[in-house]
Amino acid sequence: MKVLVTYASKNGSTEEIAETIADELLAYGLDVLCRSAHDTDASDADAVILGSAVYAGRWLRPARHFLKDQSDRLRRMPFWIFSSGPFGEQATRPTEDDLRWQEPPRVLTRAESLGVRGHVVFGGRLPTEPHGFIENAMVRNTPEDTRDARDWSAIRMWAASIAHELGAQERIGRPVVSA
The CATH number given to 2-165 is: 3.40.50.360
pLDDT for the residue numbered 126: 65
pLDDT for the residue numbered 76: 97
Where in the chain are the domains? 2-165
DSSP assignment string, 34-80? EEEGGG--STT-SEEEEEEEEETTEE-HHHHHHHHHTHHHHTTS-EE
pLDDT for the residue numbered 171: 84
pLDDT for the residue numbered 90: 53
105-149 pLDDT, tens digit per residue, is 899 999 999 999 999 989 876 656 666 776 556 656 666 766 677
pLDDT for the residue numbered 12: 84
pLDDT for the residue numbered 156: 96
pLDDT for the residue numbered 179: 44
Pair 115, 85: CB distance under 8 Å: no
Nearest alpha carbon to residue 160 among 20, 59, 42, 14: 20
pLDDT for the residue numbered 143: 65
pLDDT for the residue numbered 111: 97
What are residue 95's phi and psi, to 5 degrees?
A: -90, 175
Query: Which residues in the chain land under pLDDT 50?
Result: 178-179
pLDDT for the residue numbered 1: 87
Report the alpha-carbon distance of residue 55 to residue 42 in Å, rounded. 25
